[in-house]
Amino acid sequence: MEPIIREIDVKSVLTKSNLPGSDYSVNPYVGCTHACRYCYASFMKRFTGHSEPWGAFLDVKHWPEIRRPERYAGKELFIGSVTDPYLPQEETFGRTRALLEQLKGGGVRLSIATKSDLVLRDLDLIKNLMLRLSL
């Protein structure tokens, strides 16, 4: 079954994080269409008003462009704490790539959690950022 996809506007894509080794968590999408049975992130449904099963919906976030990314220099950003930033829909919407473009040159430290080799598409951007990759 095709997921229900909405595009939503958010004030910011960066959220202060208490996760170990992470100053901010960054999730370009709400939901995750991989729908892993063991998913630890399905609790997100409670906070986003979705009644659909986990994996059956996806909100595509649009945020104001991150200006002056150097404000985050040396900060640890964890991309994909409650979604996979390289879902198949990323090929269409490109929100993770947009995020990396906006962070370019800012000196942030990145962790990316993904199970998709679509991440390879963005190596041109990633190689210029400080990165830890979790697969």
- Contacting residues toward ligand SF4, per CB under 6 A: 32, 34-36, 39, 41, 83-84, 115
| CA dist., res. 22 & res. 63, Å (int) | 21
Q: Least distance to ligand SF4 from the beta carbon of 94, Å?
A: 18
Contact (CB, 8 A) for 51 and 44: no
Q: Which of 41, 126 has the CB closer to ligand SF4?
A: 41
Q: Least distance to ligand SF4 from the beta carbon of 124, Å?
A: 24
Q: Least distance to ligand SF4 from the beta carbon of 35, Å?
A: 6
**Cα 131 from chain centre:** 14
Residues 6+ apart with CB under 8 A from 99: 13, 26, 28, 66, 79, 85
Q: Which of 34, 62 has the CB closer to ligand SF4?
A: 34
